[in-house]
Structure 1
Amino acid sequence: MVAICDIVKKNDDDSAATAATSDDNSTAMVRKNSFVVSCKIINHRSTTNKTTKKLSLTSSNKMPFFRPSLFSNVPPTIRFCLHDENKVQKPKKSIRKLLKWRHNSLTPRVIRRALLNSHFEIVDADSRFWIGYWGRHWKTPDFRQLLPYQKVNHFAGAFNLGRKDKLWTNIDRLSSKNVKNGEFSLLMPKTYILPHDLSLLKQKMSQDGQLTPYILKPPASARGTGIHVVHRSSQIPRKKSLVAQTYIYNPLLLYGSKFDLRIYVYVTSFNPLKIYLYQEGLVRFASVKYSKCLSTITNRLMHLTNYSLNKSAAQDENIENRSETGVKWSLTKFWNHLKHMGKDVDKLQNEIIDLIIKTFICCETPINSYMNEQISITRCIKILRFTSSGSPYSANYTTKPWCNVGKDTSLHQKEAFYIETFEKTGKIDPTILDDLTGEDLRILIDLEDEYQRRGDFVRIFPDQEANSRYLHFFETNRYANLLLDEWLNQYFHIRETGLKLLEEHCKRKAHVATKRCD
């Protein structure tokens, strides 16, 4: 039996910050809950053994080490605990010796403590055997070195989400394909990629006049590093790699200060696309009250909301016009504040979810292309943080524990048939759920097991109500997305019936791979 776990990582800008502030409940809980959704033990024979069954039973006040699947003959998941939670039961030595985590200096303290509390051993970076890694993004070819039981906290090609220039390129591409309805035009402000678009930007600034400021950002940095607000083209570096956007000069203010929303999004798979939204988050404030005066345009504490910039300034009594809010609220406090003001919170939340789903749709084609090229078995997950302006900032994870199954001709034919039917009619043929293959069953089992252990996450895609709206936006129609859509269409409201159907297949081991893992 081989232990496999799927972890979530925020992007590099928060790794160091969180290591220093690991007691922050919001970031700690989102990471812990992400462990729960995707951590799985793989038995290469796809059956649970007696040891697994014993450890799934509660024999003391400690939590069971394994969380059983909903289905027979399906591997369980590892149960992770934070450092201040009751430890899980210690597994037998034969399992414990497999729980190796590769050391990296960027692994946040909250993750290291959770690993140790869950009976993992953190081993040297040059160790040959490990099952989990959390660190900087790998170079694309490095993903080919991953073994079937190893997990890393990045997707191959994730820079298509994490880099602001790549993100804009992907959004702009899909926006141009949906010009009539303008579905993607508001996901991200018009962005100029410098120095390539420098002449276009200067022309636009000349038309706008000096009263229109622009914000300049490095395409791949974070924590407020390298961000500047300018209002003259002469202030723009001529050769530096940057992205430029019109600065929102009349922003929504709270108690006179700028703010943004930090919303955590967890992706367990890109094929099929599965997205979870964490129910808690952060509201970040600038530490100095906002002013439209151009003379304040260089005041980063007024114009930027990054916590790393504002956390110390908020306590400095010598700073004029300090914000009255502090530098952070919980998202729950913010929603309650809006409700008290009579605002339609449900509408705003639905608009944010719409933004999130569309952003992933814009980027799923290039990411799937990299994943298919570099990784034979899906073993990545990703967490992103979306701000209120619609600009996602990347972070990472790891996922799929199933053995790789070679696809025979009949399976290719089935997939091609249902994809072609959807493309011609715009509807999914309900017979897609007839004669489910082993691979079909594994996809559906993963969906239901993940949903069962979702904790404080909400699955926003696939969704039984939203899918019909979004599927036609995908550049590539993928069989697995169609399969999950029809499954939820038929069984979401009668879930027990669907679970019984899957259980019947699992008892017969119809889901078990018949070909060797790569």
Structure 2
Amino acid sequence: MNPDVSFVFDYIVPISLSHQYLSSVNSDGNHQKLLQRRQELSNSTTKLPELTTTTFQQTLTFVENFKRNQHKSITDKSRVLLQIPQENTNDNKTLTPQQLRYQLNLKLEQLIRTRVIEPHRVINRSNILPASPIKSKIVPKETFPRIIIPSYLNRSVDKSIISLSTTTINTTVTQDDLIDKDSLGDNDEACEEMMEEEIITFLQQQPMLDKDSFEMETEEYEAEFEEESLRDSESDVDVDNTFPVDPALLLSDKTRRVGSTEVKSGFIPSLFANVPPTIRFCNETERIEPLPLPLQKMMKWKMSSITPNVVKSAVLRSGFRLSDEGNDWLGTWSRHMKPVCFKAIREYQKINHFPGSFQIGRKDRLWRNLSHMQAVHSRREFDFVPQTFVLPADFLLFKRVFDEVSETKESKWIIKPPASARGQGIRVISKMEQVPKKRAVVVQKYIANPYLINGHKFDLRLYVYVPSHDPLRIYLFDDGLTRFASRKYSTSVKSLSDRFMHLTNYSINRYNSEYKSNNDSTACAGHKWSLKALWAYLKKRDVDVADVIERIKDLVIKTIISADSYVNVLTKANVRRKFSVHELFGFDVILDEQCKPYIVEVNISPSLHSNSPLDINVKGSMISDLLNLSGFMIPDRKDMSSDGSSRKKSKLPKSLIFDRRVLPQGLSTDEKVKHQYFAQRHNDEQIRKNIVDLLTPDDLRILVETEDEFARRGSFERIFPTNQTRKYLKYFETPRYYNLLLNEWITKYTRNEDRGIALLNTFCRKEIHLQNPAVDTNHMWTQYQKLHGHLSYRENDNANTNGS
């Protein structure tokens, strides 16, 4: 706590109640409580400082000066108010209680004006004074008393305008807002007694926590920038010509240790020159060096009704402020929106969804897209989804298949609402009359031979992160959850109605008395394991876990590609900049008795609620790595301000803030020619290899973004693109230039990543990646074609090989 704030808590002591007032208070016993509080305070060992009459004379002089200068501007008055005299401890004479109260309220006014005390923590005196006749009223506990302006100040400053720092800038209070002492009688003392009751209650509610060495060092770090942050106020009249932030220090990747804890920098520096850093996030076992206060002011996280606690904790550890108001936020974790709503997202903001991602998030759309891929390519290549029908549109087709299967053997089907979650409305059936004929449902062939562990059915929750759809980049978290049915599996038709046996959702099985929780992420116990624990279990039973994981990756990539075209169209039409959208998917996968994976569903808002240490360990680590991958940046003040007020403040260092020139942007004519050239020849392998021979500024921006993102991946694995994923390019509805570019770049430098990064850095130092259009002819595709167009592709390829 700031020393000036503790000064207010320690020294504002109201005057005791008069006997006349006590006799007038209603007899509900409240005055007895007030007297008891007064006695407790009197018995306290804390003593008030002795304020001298000399100081009081100086204060009166200050008031008279304020009265004479009341015609001046608010800025001039603020300067006068800051000249509050300091007490002189050489004088042994003490002030009267009234003089003490007046002096302390002047001090409180100063602290509010200098923004040491948050304005919303105080309230006006008129808000806590009881109406006449006097009735006992207790101030709400969440507030802190506002400045008490004594009545003799009202007479001294007649009809003056006093500027107060409240929730809005330069709010003014006239004499009409002040209450004359003569009309109050003893209400001054009543108000002060209620203030004392509130202050004591407020102090008693404050948690008494022992500070560790890290917290003490953090406070010292914040104190270094306190003076600058005060000058860097939100007021438009506050102009700060100095800036204490050292970019070289903040961009250093060095870490320090506090005890056994490693403290990392608040920024993750880029691998490349002239590229701004991203904000660092950490899990609960790590620590981050707080960013300077001027930078923290720009870090605001927009809350929503579904923001998970693990997300809140992660952003708070990085220095974000949580708010549900305003539009100056950097990130949010909220529900999916209609595509048109994405148009309101600013360039530097990030929202955790893509427009159109419901194409795989809804069970009926997921099947439509995958069945389309089966028709275009082959059912064999997309055999990881059970046979599915969308009713009532496919009712006749389903009935024919149902009759054919039931004639040969017993058939089991699972019915799901198309857009439900947490197992709602899901049931297993075996008779045609159990199928609804008019209600919209998805009917899927039930996997009757699941892989069982200890006799229980289970499924896998995989966390898949997509930071970009053009180019498509997919990451798979190396851990997840294994969720078991809480009752042993049976193939009997009589057990089909048992949801604890056939459904693996935690939201369902937790209500079973047989459900056993598991708090150890490494243990194979209970009805919920970590994914790593499952892999270890299967390895001991000679299961080819590597093959299972590769099949799962294949399933994930093909599923996301099935909706790629739709998502890209909506993103291009509704999102200002692709930087602003990213998404976490929860893939639910089940293994049959041969350990072949099948997709159950895809969640576009997977549950991140953490009900156990196991959940916290898995989801907390995943979220911190995901936020690091997403690449949040400190925005420029002029981007956040619409009224131009930021121009009056000091500018943030350009090397630390969001720079739209670094991100992919509109293509120049030269770059459009290159895109069209390779898109039309994407089937020619020799031509595709030449795509990285000459890199345009736009190519550099895409590659720099990709390499920086890959360096921040943490425990995520990039499963697309890799040097083995060229085979997936044929599944895209239309060839995308950026996918071709990344595929060839990764293939070329997969065994020599440092060389590729060094090449990009050479161009970034020359600021080639910031040009639009290209100025350097060495990075113009049309010029390259003129010089090298006469070479055959084989000669060109040999020249590149010899040069490398």
Task: Give yes or no for TM over 0.5.
Answer: yes
Shift of 1:250: 2.1
Instruction: State the one-letter code of the partner of 1:395.
Output: I
Residue equivalent to 1:7: none
Instruction: State the one-letter code of the partner of 1:183.
Output: E
Shift of 1:175: 1.2
Alignment pair present for 1:182 and 2:380: yes
Q: Scaled by the length of structure 1, what TM-score is found?
A: 0.84
Deviates more, 1:308-317 or 1:205-214: 308-317
Deviates more, 1:363-372 or 1:305-314: 305-314
Equivalent residue in structure 2 for 1:394, among 603, 621, 643? 603
Are the counterparts in 1 of residues 664 and 698 from structure 2 also a CA contact under 8 Å?
no
Deviates more, 1:337-346 or 1:268-277: 337-346
Instruction: State the one-letter code of the partner of 1:222.
Output: A
Instruction: State the one-letter code of the partner of 2:387.
Output: K
Equivalent residue in structure 1 for 2:681, among 409, 421, 427? 421
Q: Scaled by the length of structure 2, what TM-score is found?
A: 0.55
Instruction: State the one-letter code of the partner of 1:377.
Output: R
Residue equivalent to 2:499: 300
Alignment pair present for 1:93 and 2:352: no
Residue equivalent to 2:559: 359
Shift of 1:336: 1.5
How many Å separate the matches in 1 of 2:753 and 2:508? 47
Residue equivalent to 2:268: 67
Residues 440-495 of structure 1, C-alpha deviations (whole Å, 9 max, x = no match): 1111111111111211111111001x222211221111000000011011111011
How many Å separate the matches in 1 of 2:744 and 2:664? 24
Taking a change above 3 Å as real, the CA distance of residues 120 and 191 of structure 1, as seen in their structure-2 partners, is same
Shift of 1:404: 5.1
Residue equivalent to 1:25: none
Shift of 1:325: 5.1
Are the counterparts in 1 of residues 417 and 426 from structure 2 also a CA contact under 8 Å?
yes
Deviates more, 1:388-397 or 1:186-195: 388-397
Residues 367-408 of structure 1, C-alpha deviations (whole Å, 9 max, x = no match): 111111111311211222221322341236895775452212
Q: Any idea what SS the aligned residue of 1:511 has?
A: helix
Q: Any idea what SS the aligned residue of 1:261 has?
A: strand
Deviates more, 1:426-435 or 1:252-261: 426-435
Instruction: State the one-letter code of the partner of 1:246.
Output: K
Residue equivalent to 1:79: 280
User: Which runs of structure 2 are paired with 1:201-212 in the superposition (5 Å)?
Assistant: 201-209=398-406, 211-212=410-411
Taking a change above 3 Å as real, the CA distance of residues 316 and 152 of structure 1, as seen in their structure-2 partners, is closer
How many Å separate the matches in 2 of 1:392 and 1:443? 31
How many Å separate the matches in 2 of 1:249 and 1:199? 24
> What is the percent sequence identity of the aligned residues?
39
Q: CA RMSD in A?
A: 2.1
Residue equivalent to 1:476: 734
Residues 222-274 of structure 1, C-alpha deviations (whole Å, 9 max, x = no match): 11111011112211222222111011122221111111111111111111111
How many Å separate the matches in 2 of 1:314 and 1:444? 53
Are the counterparts in 2 of residues 193 and 242 from structure 1 also a CA contact under 8 Å?
yes
Q: Specify every segment of 5 or more residues in structure 2 that has no aligned partner in the other structure, as ranges.
A: 1-243, 258-262, 517-523, 591-597, 606-625, 632-659, 774-804
Alignment pair present for 1:127 and 2:326: yes
Shift of 1:339: 1.4
Are the counterparts in 2 of residues 187 and 355 from structure 1 also a CA contact under 8 Å?
yes
Q: Specify every segment of 5 or more residues in structure 1 that has no aligned partner in the other structure, as ranges.
A: 1-48, 318-323
Residue equivalent to 2:696: 437
Alignment pair present for 1:460 and 2:719: yes
Are the counterparts in 2 of residues 187 and 359 from structure 1 also a CA contact under 8 Å?
no
How many Å separate the matches in 2 of 1:197 and 1:504? 58
Residue equivalent to 1:281: 480
Instruction: State the one-letter code of the partner of 1:449.
Output: D
Instruction: State the one-letter code of the partner of 2:711.
Output: Q
User: Which runs of structure 2 are paired with 1:25-424 in the superposition (5 Å)?
Assistant: 51-57=246-252, 58=254, 60-61=256-257, 62-82=263-283, 84-124=284-324, 126-179=325-378, 182-184=380-382, 186-209=383-406, 211-313=410-512, 315=514, 326-378=526-578, 379-386=580-587, 387-388=589-590, 389-395=598-604, 399=630, 402-403=662-663, 405-423=665-683
Are the counterparts in 2 of residues 104 and 135 from structure 1 also a CA contact under 8 Å?
yes
Are the counterparts in 1 of residues 300 and 329 from structure 2 also a CA contact under 8 Å?
yes
Are the counterparts in 2 of residues 213 and 246 from structure 1 also a CA contact under 8 Å?
yes
Instruction: State the one-letter code of the partner of 1:162.
Output: G
Residue equivalent to 1:32: none
More helix, by proportion: 2
How many Å separate the matches in 1 of 2:665 and 2:545? 45
Q: Any idea what SS the aligned residue of 1:94 has?
A: helix
Q: Any idea what SS the aligned residue of 1:450 has?
A: helix
How many Å separate the matches in 1 of 2:459 and 2:286? 35
Alignment pair present for 1:509 and 2:767: yes
How many residues are paired up? 455
Q: Any idea what SS the aligned residue of 1:440 has?
A: helix
Q: Any idea what SS the aligned residue of 2:733 has?
A: coil
Deviates more, 1:502-511 or 1:198-207: 198-207
How many Å separate the matches in 1 of 2:692 and 2:473? 19
Residues 280-311 of structure 1, C-alpha deviations (whole Å, 9 max, x = no match): 11111100001111111010000000111112
Alignment pair present for 1:486 and 2:686: no
Residues 341-362 of structure 1, C-alpha deviations (whole Å, 9 max, x = no match): 1121111111111111111111
Shift of 1:54: 2.2
Taking a change above 3 Å as real, the CA distance of residues 510 and 223 of structure 1, as seen in their structure-2 partners, is same
Taking a change above 3 Å as real, the CA distance of residues 348 and 244 of structure 1, as seen in their structure-2 partners, is same
Q: Any idea what SS the aligned residue of 1:209 has?
A: helix
Are the counterparts in 1 of residues 663 and 701 from structure 2 also a CA contact under 8 Å?
no
Are the counterparts in 2 of residues 255 and 325 from structure 1 also a CA contact under 8 Å?
no
Shift of 1:435: 2.5
Q: Any idea what SS the aligned residue of 1:429 has?
A: helix
How many Å separate the matches in 1 of 2:245 and 2:732? 44
Taking a change above 3 Å as real, the CA distance of residues 384 and 415 of structure 1, as seen in their structure-2 partners, is same
